[in-house]
Chains A and B, each alone.
Chain A
């Protein structure tokens, strides 16, 4: 046999072997899809094609979500600022991470994240749940974790190695983000009293029903229609946002021109977007105080008081807010819904029907480390 033939043969064997090893190493893991049904009235939801909802990714994501390994001091997990009992908020005006410095924003509630949003965070600065999941890990005041070191640490953990292999095949920034995103996608809330009302299982009380009608109505003094004007900005109040580009971002009159914050402007650099923040889900709103992007209101009563006379005018203030009034406008510079006390009470009663106790205590969303302990 010629030497050249031997060399070629060896080369072919080597290439075949390398290809086989590469193929084995990069073989897509054998995953199992999550099965569930969700209310049709929520609308259509989207899951990225490259991150299907699998049992393996959700199992991994749930563990990561509750694991302080994601933070530099090994003391802060996602759940530190997103506590299940508070609909995955933290009860603070603005959250506090590893640096101890209060963050810029109030922790957003996590529920029904599959429906709608194209832009995450109060100011819409990222465009996917995967990107949203990574930001706090890297943020110097939140978790301040070096991702390269995190990947090394996760690789040193046999259980994580196994979970990542089953879900995504490897440990990487992408797979960490995907797993966290998928766990958050499973946080479906669909059994509040209002959900039960929509399904015909219960009736609302007269006060709640009055609040529901006010919530849904834009006031029209010409036909004596009284309204709370809530639905104008919160039409997606059962889910987490809007499916189209910047729908759902508005300036709800928290600040005047002198103190107007950046909001969506930070993403678009468009002056018309200065002071616009995301209209959040109102699901479980009764347990997610304090309110607004900076947590400035401690109660729902304060929130209603804001819309009932506390609105500050600015150049980007929502025209729907300027226009909405339950009495014929006599002073153009005074903006108020002019709701009466009973109506405010009714709207708040309705907002309480959006609390989903089953969601707040669902063991599938709870801390798996606690479950591990209790299992012991």
Chain B
């Protein structure tokens, strides 16, 4: 049985567990405002000292082929108290590519990057500037040379021997037709040149030696980096169940750890996102790796002994199959809490940051929508703290399928929306449905000035 069918089955089963969420505000109305008008209106209240762009976000939008729209990067207003809530303030058309751009990341020096799910542009740098009206605009979108690495997923910057280095996971690696060629690209963070490609094909290493299959999540602490092996981007039957530790002194894989026990849908667990919990996130914490498993529906902990540089046996912290959730995805957070998104039923769970690496609930789940995925944190002009959640797994629509949205199995995980919630109470304050309003899908969200949380990796 293909993984697509298994996911579909799991989604159908688990969707029944979810409660319908309540919306306390209407979805943004279909009003097109120009950016200038919006800003002039805002400028009038400028003396408040509040940064008027703090409530703006960048989103990657996918054209939905049969709806006649094309891919773009947009800046949107996300203050539910604003008349401009949900408006696209700026829209930069992307070139036609073989797959959508997938993730946006700011580098530590403020440069903007995007990964892409195809081969034509699996990694790009985006030049964001301001024009003479002080408006943020994109001056250039440059696809970077990855030396043949395909299907970019996550980016992480980390100091290696004193040098800031950019690491990118490429699920498709060097050859999409092969089953185990996933790679991690090591780039010079200044000039974007490939320094090294980390590859360890299971079919080529000696038995018992570490290997990497389909790198997706990535995180690091000091001289240890971890990547997950999730799923092959084009061969549905190929799914991973491991994480691999890489020694950053040598940039070589040193250990592969299986993260799996029960198989709720009879399929490998598919570790997806990963977070190396470390003292820079929680003071005096005992370091450990947290792993979400896409098809295992679980969150795991892998303790790390800093003195011996050894990892202990994985411990399952959260079991979605028995808790009514599936498709756990991202780790985000703020100074107090860690947040984990669960695509099914579309919620964000919250945990006490100080209790990490254990998961101790810090409040009620935030009820978003199916496909709950990326998130940002920000404050409104009135000082209210908010969280905006992008509810959409993947936009992989294809006109030849005559499907106006996306491929069938993803439909239940693609709500095409951003929901905005009070961070303290979880109350939903607004929703923007990009498919209804703009006839586009939404792939990623990033606050205009960064996500407000750097513990992502």
| Interface residues of A, Cβ cutoff 8 Å to B | 33-47, 49, 53, 197-200, 202-203, 206, 209, 223, 243-245
Contact = CB atoms under 8 A, between A and B. Distances in A.
B155 to A, nearest CB: 14
Interface in B102-155: 109-111, 125, 128-132, 134, 136-137, 139
Given A40-B136, A197-B109, A202-B190, A46 B129 contact: no
A202 B191 CA distance: 8
A34 B136 CA distance: 16
B89 to A, nearest CB: 13
Nearest to A47: B134
A41 B110 CA distance: 6
A199 B136 CA distance: 16
B192 A200 contact: yes
Given A49-B43, A197-B190, A40 B110 contact: yes
B16 interface: no
B129 A39 contact: yes
B279 interface: yes
Nearest to A43: B51
Nearest to B48: A244
Contact of A42 (B52, B130, B131, B192): B130
A42 B109 CA distance: 12
B140 to A, nearest CB: 11
Contacts of B406: none
Contacts of B129: 37-40
Nearest to B110: A41
B454 to A, nearest CB: 14
A40 B49 contact: no
B35 to A, nearest CB: 13
Contact of A44 (B134, B139, B190): B134
B401 interface: no
Which of B40, B109, B125, B132 counts the most A-chain CB atoms under 10 A from its CB? B132
Nearest to A33: B132
Contact of A37 (B40, B43, B52, B139): B139
Contact of B132 (A35, A43, A44, A49): A35
A198 B134 contact: no
B325 to A, nearest CB: 36
A282 to B, nearest CB: 17
A208 B190 CA distance: 15
B111 A44 contact: no
A198 B110 CA distance: 7
Indicate the size class of the contact surface on chain B: 20 to 34
A45 B134 contact: yes
A112 to B, nearest CB: 12
A34 B130 CA distance: 13
Given A198-B111, A199-B111, A44 B130 contact: yes
Contacts of A47: 134
B53 interface: yes
Contacts of A203: 190-191
A40 B58 CA distance: 14
A43 B49 CA distance: 14
Given A40-B136, A44-B51, A244-B49, A200 B111 contact: yes
B315 interface: no
A37 B131 contact: yes
Contacts of A202: 190
A44 B53 contact: yes
Contacts of B46: 46
Contact of A245 (B49, B110, B137): B49
21 contacts: A33-B132, A35-B131, A35-B132, A36-B131, A36-B132, A37-B131, A37-B132, A37-B137, A40-B130, A40-B136, A42-B130, A46-B43, A46-B134, A197-B109, A198-B109, A198-B110, A200-B125, A200-B189, A206-B162, A244-B49, A245-B49
A54 to B, nearest CB: 10
Nearest to A216: B108
A351 B296 CA distance: 52
Closest 6 CB pairs of A and B: A244-B49, A41-B110, A37-B129, A40-B128, A38-B130, A203-B190
A44 B128 CA distance: 12
Nearest to A41: B110
A224 B191 CA distance: 30
B77 to A, nearest CB: 14
A211 to B, nearest CB: 13
B130 A200 contact: no
Contacts of B189: 200
A199 B162 CA distance: 19
A243 B51 contact: yes
A34 B192 contact: no
A44 B136 CA distance: 8
